């Protein structure tokens, strides 16, 4: 019996867990139903993908969209618009908002705010604190909860669990993989005099490699004692990568495009405080160490750590300036440029941005192109050369550290559950974002 698909992606090169090749994809009711030669099949809509690569939808597992409470610099609508403009189909948003996402009510509020207002699908990290220990086992299993996030070092906001006992108490109460910001708070406090007023080049001197490595070592020791799984965010040092290579049984690892691309002191001399991040961008020795971790398979996922601030905030004098930069919209083009430069394969990029997140966090129905999975696709032109500009950035803050940077490889289309939400740089449909589902919380 002949079928009529809702949508067929036709003539593209599909990059998936089973290889790369010319294959069509048929979609019915937002779900992938057929992969192969569909040139003789009928569809309500055919998307011509000739000359393009069809990737599983890119999942960015670390973004800060600032809503509620900090909406002047970003909100769930504007942040998700930036995501789909850059080819990202789903995001995991962080808890350091105001109020903080630390309870069932604040999580539910974010889900309500995001439903059919965000342009991509979404999940929200729940902040682990000293005060919500008794609730964590329930909180991590609530709808749209990505898991528990813990700040062991102070960054943006007031979420902080700096003591080993506090971290151990959290890990002993949960079952899912928890995410950690690893900077040693005691060393940060002791080293504040290393900050040079007006000079952001001193930022990585204060938030040194020792600060990061000391905290990561502590975390792994606690994880082993509590028999817990941990996810170490935004690794910035060569020493951490070498250390974590020996602890992959308990720890998964994230790298970010800016720590793979920017380098000190150049970035601070060119961009000033616009390059200020926590943990910081470091020198080429550490950048190469992060690349080594990615090449050797230590890195499991890429996250943008999209953390926007307004120009007015970033243009204050260091160290009064907040740390953070935009990144969700540039994750795909920056990393595709690295693919074209031969630093990683397109298949490895897919593993880091779709298969990896699915594997680590137990995402249901996403992360690969297969029958029965959500029809989420990032469609890219690997030959397209474009210059990234501030004008292209959809984030409320309107700037990127890559302004003026030319890249080869560009997101052409973003498809979320069968709906084309971006095509050729234009939003092409209403916002229909829905909560990501997780296998451990179904």
- Per-residue pLDDT averaged across 287-311, rounded? 98
Residue with tokens 């890559």: 402
Q: Is the peptide bond before 3 cis (omega within 30 degrees of 0)?
A: no
Q: Which helix (DSSP H) or strand (DSSP E) does residue 216 occupy?
A: helix 209-226
pLDDT bracket for residue 90 (50, 70, 90): very high
Report the alpha-carbon distance of residue 141 to residue 50 in Å, rounded. Answer: 42
With CA atoms as reference, report the closest residue to 373 among 6, 28, 31: 31
Share of residues in the chain with pLDDT > 90 (%): 96
Over the stretch 304-313, which tens digit does the pLDDT of each residue have?
999 999 999 9
- pLDDT for residue 400: 98
Over the stretch 31-43, which tens digit does the pLDDT of each residue have?
999 999 999 999 9
Over the stretch 379-414, which tens digit does the pLDDT of each residue have?
999 999 999 999 999 999 999 999 999 999 999 999
Beta bridge partner(s), residue 377: 56, 415
Q: In sequence order, what are the residues at sequence separation of 6 or more whose Cβ sits closer than 8 angstroms to the Cβ of residue 309?
A: 73, 322, 324, 325, 397
Report the alpha-carbon distance of residue 42 to residue 409 in Å, rounded. Answer: 31
Over the stretch 205-243, which tens digit does the pLDDT of each residue have?
999 999 999 999 999 999 999 999 999 999 999 999 999
HSE value, Cβ hemisphere, 13 Å, CA-based, for 167: 32
- Per-residue pLDDT averaged across 190-203, rounded? 98
With CA atoms as reference, report the closest residue to 367 among 436, 288, 296: 436
Q: In sequence order, what are the residues at sequence separation of 6 or more whose Cβ sits closer than 8 angstroms to the Cβ of residue 382?
A: 53, 336, 339, 340, 346, 408, 409
pLDDT bracket for residue 159 (50, 70, 90): confident
Indicate the average pLDDT of the chain: 97
- pLDDT for residue 17: 84
Q: In sequence order, what are the residues at sequence separation of 6 or more whose Cβ sits closer than 8 angstroms to the Cβ of residue 268?
A: 200, 201, 203, 275, 276, 281
* CATH hierarchy code of domain 4-54+370-384+404-429: 2.30.40.10
Tally: H helices and E strands in the chain: 15, 19
> What ranges do the domains of the chain cover?
4-54+370-384+404-429, 57-361
- Per-residue pLDDT averaged across 131-151, rounded? 97
- Of the chain, the end-to-end C-alpha distance in Å amounts to 34
- pLDDT for residue 18: 87
Residue 355's SS3 state is: helix
Instruction: Select which of 305, 337, 351, 376 is catalytic.
Output: 305
Report the alpha-carbon distance of residue 366 to residue 146 in Å, rounded. Answer: 14
With CA atoms as reference, report the closest residue to 79 among 69, 68, 89, 66: 66
- pLDDT for residue 70: 96
- Long-range CB contacts (within 8 A, 24+) of 47-50: 47/7, 47/8, 47/9, 47/10, 47/379, 47/413, 47/415, 47/420, 48/10, 48/11, 49/9, 49/10, 49/11, 49/12, 49/379, 50/10, 50/11, 50/12
Q: Would residue 305 show up in a list of annotated catalytic residues for this protein?
A: yes
Over the stretch 318-358, which tens digit does the pLDDT of each residue have?
999 999 999 999 999 999 999 999 999 999 999 999 999 99
pLDDT bracket for residue 156 (50, 70, 90): low
Q: In sequence order, what are the residues at sequence separation of 6 or more whose Cβ sits closer than 8 angstroms to the Cβ of residue 34?
A: 5, 24, 25, 26, 41, 371
| Choices 3.40.50.11540, 3.30.499.10, 3.90.1010.10, 3.20.20.140: CATH for 57-361 | 3.20.20.140
The better pLDDT of the pair 441, 122 is held by 122
């Amino acid at each position: 019996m002949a079928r009529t698909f809702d949508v067929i992606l036709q003539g593209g090169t599909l990059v998936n867990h089973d290889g790369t090749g010319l294959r069509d994809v048929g979609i019915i009711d937002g779900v992938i139903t057929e992969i192969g030669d569909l040139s003789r099949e009928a569809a309500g809509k055919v998307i011509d993908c000739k000359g393009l690569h069809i990737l599983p939808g890119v999942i960015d597992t670390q973004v800060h969209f600032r809503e509620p409470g900090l909406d002047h610099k970003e909100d769930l609508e504007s942040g998700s618009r930036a995501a789909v403009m850059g080819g990202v189909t789903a995001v995991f948003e962080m808890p350091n908002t105001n109020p903080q996402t630390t309870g069932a009510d604040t999580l539910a509020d974010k889900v309500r705010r995001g439903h059919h207002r965000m342009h991509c699908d979404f999940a929200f990290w729940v902040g682990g604190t000293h005060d919500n220990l008794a609730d964590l086992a329930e909180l991590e299993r609530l709808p749209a909860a990505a898991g528990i996030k813990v700040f062991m070092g102070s960054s943006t906001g007031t979420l902080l669990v700096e003591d080993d006992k506090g971290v151990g108490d959290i890990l002993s109460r949960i079952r899912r993989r928890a995410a950690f910001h690893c900077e040693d708070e005691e060393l940060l406090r002791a080293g504040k005099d290393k900050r040079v007023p007006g000079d952001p080049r001193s930022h990585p001197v204060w938030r040194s490699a020792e600060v990061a490595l000391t905290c990561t070592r502590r975390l792994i020791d606690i994880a082993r004692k509590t028999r817990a799984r941990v996810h170490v965010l935004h690794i910035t040092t060569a020493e951490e990568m070498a250390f974590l290579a020996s602890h992959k049984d308990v720890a998964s690892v994230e790298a970010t495009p800016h720590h793979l691309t920017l380098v000190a002191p150049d970035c601070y001399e060119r961009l000033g405080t616009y390059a200020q991040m926590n943990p910081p961008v470091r020198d080429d020795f550490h950048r190469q160490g992060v690349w080594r971790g990615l090449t050797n398979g230590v890195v499991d996922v890429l996250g943008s750590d999209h953390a926007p601030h307004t120009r007015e905030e970033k243009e204050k004098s260091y160290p009064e300036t907040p740390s953070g930069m935009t990144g969700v919209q540039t994750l795909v083009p920056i990393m595709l440029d690295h693919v074209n430069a031969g630093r990683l394969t397109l298949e490895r990029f897919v593993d880091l941005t779709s298969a990896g997140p699915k594997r680590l966090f137990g995402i249901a129905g996403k992360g690969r192109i297969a029958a029965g999975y959500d029809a989420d696709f990032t469609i890219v032109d690997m030959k397209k050369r474009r210059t990234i500009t501030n004008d292209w950035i959809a984030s409320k803050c309107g700037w990127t550290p890559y302004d003026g940077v030319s890249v080869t490889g560009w997101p052409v289309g973003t498809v979320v559950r069968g709906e084309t939400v971006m095509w050729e740089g234009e939003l092409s449909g209403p916002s229909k974002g829905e909560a990501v589902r997780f296998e451990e919380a179904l």
